[in-house]
A and B are shown apart, each in its own frame.
Chain A
Amino acid sequence: MSVSFVLAGVLGLLFALGTFLLLRRDVVRVVWGVTIIAQATNVYLVTMGGFAGSVPVLAGHGGHGGGHVAVQDPLVQALVLTAIVIGFGTTAFALVLTYRVYQEHGTIDLEGLAESSERPETGGER
């Protein structure tokens, strides 16, 4: 299998940018970071399958399957397919969590949240 330095570089950059966002104070940016990392992971998994084959849908419509054809690795595609949908579910969950945090604490600044939760009388996460 040919090694793609370009893909490796792009994935490295995407992960680096995602990590950078993950470390921000703004919760929304953290969610973006997670999303970027998730997207990059999907790309990485598809990359693992290689680019040599064709679409993993066999010729013929429900008929007797043809011979052995070189197709893209269908396993990684199946993995990524569910990962995309789950990624959406978790992103939505993270956003709703952010929204609830804002409702409870009036801020989406993680630093501010940490400080307010150090004072027990203000409630904080329990």
Chain B
Amino acid sequence: MQPESALLLAALTLPFLGAALVPVVYRLLGERTAYYAAAVAGATLLLLAGEYGAAVAAEPATSGVTYQWIPALDISFTLYLDGLSLLLGFLASGVGVLVFVYSGGYMHGESGQAKYYATMLAFMGSMVGVALAADLVALFVFWELTSVTSFVLIGHYQRTDAGRYAARKSMLITVSGGLFMLVGFLVLAAASGQADGLSRTLTLVGTPNSLVANAEAVRAALKSSGLFVPAIVLVALGAVTKSAQVPFHIWLPNAMEAPTPVSAFLHSATMVKAGVYLVGRMRPLFLSETAVPAWMLVVATIGLVSMAITAILAIGATDIKELLAYSTASHLGLIIAGYGLANEYGVETGAFHVLNHAVFKAALFMVAGIIAHEAGTRYIPDLGGLRRDLPITAGITAVAALGMAGVPPFNGFYSKELLFEATYYVASHEGGLFWLYPAIAVFGSVFTFLYSIKFLSLFFGSKPDGLDAHRPPLAMLLPPLTLAGIASVIGLNGVLGTFDVQLPVIGEFLTAVIDASATEPLEHGFEYHVPTTLSPYFLMSLLTIALGVVSYPFYDRLHHTVRRLRALPPVSPNWYYDTAVSGVNGLSRSVARTVHDRRFRRYAFTVVTAVCLLTLGGYAAAGVTLPTFDGVAVTIPVALVLVTAVLGAIAVTRAPSHIAGVLTLSILGFMVAIFFVLSDAPDLALTQLVIETLLLVIFLLVLDKLPTWYGEVRRSRLVTDTLLSGVVGVTVFLTVLLTTAASPSESIAGRFVELAPVPADHGLWILEHGGGNNIVNVILVDFRAFDTLGEISVIAMAALSVLTLIGMRGHGRGDEGGESA
């Protein structure tokens, strides 16, 4: 079933339009722009929700909506809406509504609000774009747009060093990951060209000729060219950097420099979900039928390892937002691991946890914002006993944190249980080392439990002295409350499921999300409930909780151990990042210092030497042979003219004064003009003669105002300069010989000669032919008129520059004087 294309386009363009209007709206509404942005997000949400029916019934081979974009390169603009993209679109727009409302309270009194709301809306639009784009190029464009907007948002406090560092770090890591992904996309496109029954395509899904619809053929083509695993790794690199997986997780904790609503939006619900989304989207394409697919080995391993490591790192956090950042990376690892595992429980884990995590983590970030805003600190040791001051917030936190911990019957429990089930199945089927999967899953989950309880404990226990929290405004309380409500409903549905009662929509929607990434659609719809039997995976859940409860008293000791360990340079990816960045910075600075020493001679020397060496090296590498000497091959007049020209040039270099030099320079110019006459180029000769005269005039005009300084030549310089000139001479000599000898016999000029004159039979209008006998002129004004337009622009440019140089003189003097004063 095809979605309504106009509605999809509207949902995609609305946020961008809204962003463009923000400056005007901000002037009218001031801080209430937050509610305008929320309304835009809400409208987007409704537009997407209107396509719910189409999304649930989407077919990978037919449901795409295609617009022409660059047909010559097989690039289309295809939009595709299925369960997975609808989920991501819902997260972007739905959490968007809540975050904008929340921002209305949080950003009160902050500077740069117009920029903030415009960028947030643009980001939301890019995110909807990532969700809807089914063409690899469009997907890449929106993908990088989210990186760029996130760069601006993380660096919102652009005057602080930490803000700039964080913004640059996230940009460098996510964008370079995106470039790897682009290479992966191109590999896919190349493979599609060789696949059976498929012509070269960049469309991922949604059309009969798309990659996912022909997954098997594409896989076969990739495998036959040996690019299967490289393609997986390249695409995974894009996802892994975006979703902050080990060892690229380091940008996410720094990104907490952003205002908290940004963290709640980008770093829990949306941008980091883009990587996960890509994994889910690519899963049916890459997951082959073999027992142990390469996809699982790469993706599930990355996911599980990241999940465990970042959960441990979260224990070492002292800042509540830092804790949440590491926890986000950990949960994204869980989702990626789920999508990596090659059974249906794996997909269910991934799909379900995308939703669960977004709900509880966005709520927790908003709670963190409330704490920072109302208690004035985010430092964990300074916080405690907030329950009395913030009772509603405490309730929200309880629902969200217990969901994050995976405690039944809260929402996170069900998806985590599915992960255990999926790993358990893989391990029991494959045996051996695959038992590490469930082991790591339990190991990482213990730490997840620990830090979740730690976060919750901020609201309990005794209140430190001097800690005083105010009541948050309604705008900041309502959004997390809504999220906690959604989380409760998901949890409640599980409890009801135990008694075979299902709330409407949830199961159907999740089935659609799961089917989007599954290799085969689920036979029965997706349902979940609190386990009633003591299955192995329920035991794993209980084991996790038990281990967590037992080790919670040692939390502080663990905290300090983690901090000590992560400070060791060789195990800290931050150390590698900082060393590499400062190393590259230093290198570029030292190169700039050596090459750009403000001396023109050095610039000329470097460029000329490099060009000569490259040219000569190229000749040597190609093993060219010189043509044999077959006589002088020029007529005597030409030879005479040329020799005179060279004599003129020599005289110029030896000229005792500027005037003498200019006059001898004209000798060269006039000789060139005569050379043009002799080589049958009347237009050139005419132009050259006239220009030579004008050149003389302008030289004399300017020289009149310049000093007669002509500088002595240093002897040491003379040697090197002569040497370089010699090298240039030899290079040019060889180039002229080789190029004239190797000219193709059939020159393109022949076509121009044929087309230039009026043809023998023609109508009143002549379009193909130039209709002129002077071929040179016809080429200039007709065949290559575009070039000529560029060339006359250069002349206009030169004239403009001269006008500016003389006319703008004196402008900017003022501050120059001020500087020297």
B632-648 residues at the A interface, CB under 8 angstroms: 632-634, 639, 642-643, 645-646
B745-763 vs A, CB cutoff 8 Å, 1 = contact: the mask equals: 1011100111011111000
By beta carbon, the residue of chain B nearest A123 is B816
A45-98 residues at the B interface, CB under 8 angstroms: 46-51, 53-66, 68-69, 71-78, 80-82, 84-93, 95-98
Report Cα–Cα, A126/B777, bound state, in Å: 43
By beta carbon, the residue of chain A nearest B664 is A32
Which of B634, B695, B731, B798 contacts A4 (CB under 8 A)?
B634
Report Cα–Cα, A17/B545, bound state, in Å: 84
Report Cα–Cα, A80/B749, bound state, in Å: 14
**B21 contacts A by Cβ under 8 Å:** no
Task: Find chain B residues with CB under 8 A from A58 CB.
Answer: 756-757, 773-775
Which of B646, B669, B758, B805 contacts A64 (CB under 8 A)?
B758
**B499 contacts A by Cβ under 8 Å:** no
Contact A36 B665 (CB under 8 A): yes
Task: Find chain B residues with CB under 8 A from A110 CB.
Answer: 599-601
Task: Find chain A residues with CB under 8 A from B717 CB.
Answer: 23
Contact A88 B684 (CB under 8 A): no
B689-716 vs A, CB cutoff 8 Å, 1 = contact: the mask equals: 0010011001100110111011101000
Report the minimum CB–CB distance from A53 to chain B (whole Å).
7
Segment from B42-50, B331-339, B721-729 that makes contact with A: B721-729
A1-39 vs B, CB cutoff 8 Å, 1 = contact: the mask equals: 111111111111111111111111110111010011001
Task: Find chain B residues with CB under 8 A from A87 CB.
Answer: 691
Contact B776 A86 (CB under 8 A): no
Kindly state the interface size class of chain B when it binds its partner: 35 or more
**B658 contacts A by Cβ under 8 Å:** yes
**B732 contacts A by Cβ under 8 Å:** yes
Contact B722 A20 (CB under 8 A): yes
Task: Find chain A residues with CB under 8 A from B740 CB.
Answer: 1, 3-4, 7-8, 47-48
B651-692 residues at the A interface, CB under 8 angstroms: 652-653, 658, 661-662, 665, 668-669, 672, 675-676, 679-684, 687-688, 691
Which of B669, B706, B754, B799 contacts A89 (CB under 8 A)?
B799
Report Cα–Cα, A73/B683, bound state, in Å: 13
By beta carbon, the residue of chain A nearest B795 is A89
Name the residue among A8, A30, A60, A123 with the largest chain B CB count within 10 angstroms.
Answer: A8
B623-634 vs A, CB cutoff 8 Å, 1 = contact: the mask equals: 000010111111
Task: Find chain B residues with CB under 8 A from A50 CB.
Answer: 743
Contact B652 A88 (CB under 8 A): no
Name the residue among A57, A74, A98, A99 with the largest chain B CB count within 10 angstroms.
Answer: A74
* Known contacts A39-B669, A74-B776; A111 and B661 CB within 8 A of each other: no
Contact B805 A47 (CB under 8 A): no
Report Cα–Cα, A9/B734, bound state, in Å: 9
Task: Find chain B residues with CB under 8 A from A85 CB.
Answer: 687, 691, 791, 795
Which of A19, A32, A95, A123 contacts B661 (CB under 8 A)?
A32
Task: Find chain A residues with CB under 8 A from B784 CB.
Answer: 78
Report Cα–Cα, A54/B776, bound state, in Å: 13
**B809 contacts A by Cβ under 8 Å:** yes
Report the minimum CB–CB distance from A21 to chain B (whole Å).
6
**B737 contacts A by Cβ under 8 Å:** yes
Task: Find chain B residues with CB under 8 A from A71 CB.
Answer: 680, 753, 775
Report the minimum CB–CB distance from B280 to chain A (whole Å).
53
Contact A17 B816 (CB under 8 A): no
Report Cα–Cα, A25/B795, bound state, in Å: 28
Contact B753 A123 (CB under 8 A): no
By beta carbon, the residue of chain A nearest B694 is A88
Contact B633 A25 (CB under 8 A): no
Task: Find chain A residues with CB under 8 A from B707 CB.
Answer: 102, 107-108
Report Cα–Cα, A56/B737, bound state, in Å: 24
Report Cα–Cα, A9/B732, bound state, in Å: 9
Report Cα–Cα, A28/B772, bound state, in Å: 42
Which of A20, A54, A66 contacts B653 (CB under 8 A)?
A20
By beta carbon, the residue of chain B nearest A60 is B773
Contact A6 B633 (CB under 8 A): yes
By beta carbon, the residue of chain B nearest A120 is B819
Contact A32 B806 (CB under 8 A): no
**B802 contacts A by Cβ under 8 Å:** yes
- Interface of B (DSSP majority class): helix
Contact B711 A55 (CB under 8 A): no
Contact A89 B794 (CB under 8 A): yes
Report Cα–Cα, A106/B70, bound state, in Å: 56
**B649 contacts A by Cβ under 8 Å:** yes
Which of B629, B680, B732 contacts A54 (CB under 8 A)?
B680
Report the minimum CB–CB distance from B792 to chain A (whole Å).
8
Task: Find chain A residues with CB under 8 A from B599 CB.
Answer: 110-111, 114
Report Cα–Cα, A10/B658, bound state, in Å: 24
Report Cα–Cα, A122/B598, bound state, in Å: 15
Report Cα–Cα, A126/B820, bound state, in Å: 13
Report the minimum CB–CB distance from A105 to chain B (whole Å).
12
Report the minimum CB–CB distance from A52 to chain B (whole Å).
10
Contact B652 A36 (CB under 8 A): yes
Contact B680 A55 (CB under 8 A): yes
By beta carbon, the residue of chain B nearest A25 is B711
Task: Find chain B residues with CB under 8 A from A30 CB.
Answer: 600, 604
Report the minimum CB–CB distance from B694 to chain A (whole Å).
6
* Known contacts A23-B604, A65-B756; A84 and B779 CB within 8 A of each other: no
**B498 contacts A by Cβ under 8 Å:** no
Which of B630, B710, B774 contacts A3 (CB under 8 A)?
B630
* Known contacts A14-B645, A21-B653, A23-B604; A5 and B725 CB within 8 A of each other: no
By beta carbon, the residue of chain A nearest B762 is A64
Contact B780 A92 (CB under 8 A): no
Contact A7 B736 (CB under 8 A): yes
Report Cα–Cα, A93/B681, bound state, in Å: 27
Which of A26, A54, A114 contacts B598 (CB under 8 A)?
A114
Report Cα–Cα, A109/B788, bound state, in Å: 36
Contact A89 B608 (CB under 8 A): no
Contact A82 B706 (CB under 8 A): no
Report Cα–Cα, A4/B791, bound state, in Å: 31
Report the minimum CB–CB distance from A86 to chain B (whole Å).
5
Contact B748 A75 (CB under 8 A): yes
Report Cα–Cα, A3/B649, bound state, in Å: 24
Contact A15 B729 (CB under 8 A): yes
Report the minimum CB–CB distance from A3 to chain B (whole Å).
5
Task: Find chain B residues with CB under 8 A from A35 CB.
Answer: 665, 695
Which of B652, B726, B733 contacts A9 (CB under 8 A)?
B733
* Known contacts A26-B711, A108-B709, A110-B599; A12 and B730 CB within 8 A of each other: yes
Which of B681, B758, B777, B801 contacts A65 (CB under 8 A)?
B758
Which of B721, B772, B794, B819 contacts A20 (CB under 8 A)?
B721
Contact B687 A81 (CB under 8 A): yes
Task: Find chain A residues with CB under 8 A from B688 CB.
Answer: 42, 84
**B741 contacts A by Cβ under 8 Å:** yes
Task: Find chain A residues with CB under 8 A from B794 CB.
Answer: 86, 89-90
**B605 contacts A by Cβ under 8 Å:** yes
* Known contacts A71-B775, A100-B809; A39 and B642 CB within 8 A of each other: no
Report the minimum CB–CB distance from B361 to chain A (whole Å).
50
Q: Can you give 7 contacting A-B residue pairs, CB < 8 Å?
A: A3-B740, A4-B632, A57-B776, A65-B759, A75-B749, A78-B779, A84-B691
B residues contacting A by CB (< 8 A) are 597-601, 604-605, 608, 627, 629-634, 639, 642-643, 645-646, 649-650, 652-653, 658, 661-662, 665, 668-669, 672, 675-676, 679-684, 687-688, 691, 694-695, 698-699, 702-703, 705-707, 709-711, 713, 717, 721-722, 724-726, 728-734, 736-737, 739-741, 743, 745, 747-749, 752-754, 756-760, 772-777, 779-780, 784, 787-788, 791, 794-795, 798-799, 801-802, 805-806, 809, 816, 819-820
Top 4 A-B residue pairs of the complex, sorted by shortest distance between their CB atoms: A65-B757, A16-B729, A12-B733, A89-B798
Sample of 17 more A-B contacts, CB < 8 Å, known A15-B728, A32-B652, A91-B695? A3-B630, A11-B736, A14-B645, A18-B649, A19-B728, A21-B652, A25-B711, A35-B665, A46-B676, A47-B679, A73-B747, A75-B747, A78-B779, A85-B791, A86-B794, A86-B798, A103-B809
